[in-house]
Amino acid sequence: MIPKDILIQIFEKLPVESLLRFKCVSKVWYNMIEDREFVDGFRVRAHNRGTNLLVRKSRFQKNTDEENNTGVNHSQVYTFFLVDSEGKSVPLAFPDILRETSFRLYQPVEGLLCCNNIIWNPTTRKFIDLPPRNQMPDAWKISEKMGTTRGYYGWNICSEYFLGFDVSTKKHKVLSICHVRLVKPPIACKKGDYDAHVYAEVLTLGTNCWKKISIDISLEQDLCESFEVKSSCSINGVIYSIITVPCKLSIMSTYMGGCILAFDISREKLRLLPFPEENVYVETVAYPGELGGRFALMEVLDQKIWILEEVFEGGRWTSVDLSLPKRWCDPHEYERGFNVYPMGMGSYQDGEILFRVSEICLKTRRDFGATIFSYNMESKDMRKITELDDFLDSYDDIVFGLVETIHPLKQVSSF
């Protein structure tokens, strides 16, 4: 019989496919491969091996209802691919439920993806549904208003899910923010014409219990305004989300169109932060990312990166200048222009930023395809990673930073 420590050393050198097969050999091997310490060690080694790009391709398919003879309609369907550092694309097996499910594709968190209320592990091809949240404390009040004023109030409810990684416990957690609004007719947009309620809860993956989070009064009032999540990422135990808001919030000196929602995963504390300067707006801010272990925003036109420090101690911004190709930022002197989309910072290779660049003809607006570039922060050098001319369309989604993980996803039964 092979000693356990020797088996562990062997397992550490095996690829994912072999580990998944070996889990079926015996209960002992199954428990060894799913052991928390082994899973976390695999996670660390996966980062050293490098990360992949995840592409979600979108297309429309025709649907014909022959039975009811209602004609043809179109539905949007999705497929997923992995793209490595050499530009090689590989089809990715994914749950059928994601084929026609629309959701915003956020950056992966230690190998896992949050797809609305579904957590998906692309490496093991497993997924779980998140358990139902707790009943809202004021549900009886909402029900009472809907009952006594039937036909007078309209209402809507929306929920946002954010995935993060608690570095202190090495566990994934999910933040849920639920927004409920009762509106008086006609549909109004100003305060006083609606009742709004906001609830925040957090769930540790592997458990079945949502925990309510207390929210400061001023923060709750700001979150009662409707908001939309533009992007989200998890960095060093904090979930950062760029949100758009319809009006000036208490944290803003002037209306910026949006702000940053930060959640400390370990302390389970929420906070809103304004953008670094009054002339920085949600429309000019590119996707957030990690730079040196800190949260950073990018402005392509101004060629500047803003870095956030001391998040929950007041927040302090510093800036770093970029040196991008002139043609990218000032295309008017050329026949061809560029649509430049920063894809993320810090996680592809050390000190590098990924850009997705689509070249277009300024006269005909013809698209000549997309190319992935890498920009080195220290040397200021730019190098081409891969061309995706025949593979990537302008309406496809692409995120960076996907690492392999054997994190086990198990559906916890509700009682």
Give the span between the Cα atoms of 33 and 42, in whole angstroms: 10
Predicted pLDDT of residue 150: 46
What residue spans define the domains of the chain?
133-290
Q: To the nearest 5 percent, what fractions of the chain are helix, strand and coil?
A: 15, 40, 45
Give the span between the Cα atoms of 208 and 134, in whole angstroms: 11
Predicted pLDDT of residue 248: 75
Contact 90, 81 (CB under 8 A): yes
Contact 254, 206 (CB under 8 A): no
Predicted pLDDT of residue 344: 66
Q: What is the pLDDT of residues 49-105, one digit of tens each?
A: 878 888 888 777 766 555 555 555 667 788 898 887 676 778 888 888 888 777 888
Give the span between the Cα atoms of 400 and 402, in whole angstroms: 6
Predicted pLDDT of residue 151: 44
pLDDT tens digits in sequence order for the chain, 415 residues long: 788 899 999 999 999 999 999 999 999 999 999 999 999 999 999 888 878 888 888 777 766 555 555 555 667 788 898 887 676 778 888 888 888 777 888 889 999 999 888 999 999 989 999 998 877 665 555 555 555 444 445 566 778 899 999 999 999 999 999 887 766 655 545 555 567 778 899 999 989 889 999 888 788 888 877 778 888 889 999 999 988 887 777 777 667 678 889 999 999 999 988 888 766 766 666 667 787 788 888 877 778 888 898 888 878 888 888 887 777 766 555 556 677 777 766 544 556 788 878 777 766 666 666 788 888 877 888 888 777 655 556 556 788 888 899 999 887 654 4
For residue 224, which of 212, 215, 234, 211 has the smallest C-alpha distance? 215
Predicted pLDDT of residue 366: 65
Contact 130, 118 (CB under 8 A): yes
Give the span between the Cα atoms of 44 and 391, in whole angstroms: 31
Contact 331, 316 (CB under 8 A): no
User: What Cα–Cα distance (Å) separates residue 354 from each residue in 92, 107, 145, 274?
Assistant: 22, 13, 51, 25
Predicted pLDDT of residue 348: 46
Helices (H) and strands (E) in the chain, counts: 7, 23
